Amino acid sequence: MRRSETRGLNASVRTKRDPTAALALYDRSIRHGHRHVALLRYMDARDLAAPLTQAHHEYAEKIASSLSATDIERILGQAVDRSRQRQRAASNIHADEAA
């Protein structure tokens, strides 16, 4: 996957709340052995109700079990912030469409 494709998927997750894009990014992180980014992408995929498999959950659990409580708290905080940003962006788009 090229960087431009990754950027496009990230934009789809941020602006369109696209669960398919979130899952593709998480799968990419798994293939590349990412840890922190993978956990963030897992949380994004869960937040957007992407169709996660048992293997997806197991990878996230494996990563989480190797991190400190502080690292997990930081990553979860980032995931919550990302979710709120997506929700605000979606609200703004709907408000603009209604106006």
The predicted model scores a pTM of 0.87
Number of structural domains, the chain?
1
- Over residues 48-66, the pLDDT tens digits come to 999 999 999 999 999 999 9
CB 83 within 8 A of CB 49: no
> How far apart are alpha carbons 99 and 1 in whole angstroms?
38
- Over residues 10-53, the pLDDT tens digits come to 999 998 999 999 999 999 999 999 999 999 999 999 999 999 99
Give start and end residues of each alpha helix (H) in 34-68.
Answer: 36-47, 54-65
CA atoms within 13 A on the CB side of 94: 8
Radius of gyration of the chain (CA): 14
Q: Is the pLDDT of residue 87 over 90?
A: no
What's the domain range around 20? 3-98
Q: Is the pLDDT of residue 91 over 80?
A: no
Location of structure tokens 């494996």: 62
Residue 59 burial (CB < 10 Å; 0-12/13-18/19+)? Answer: buried
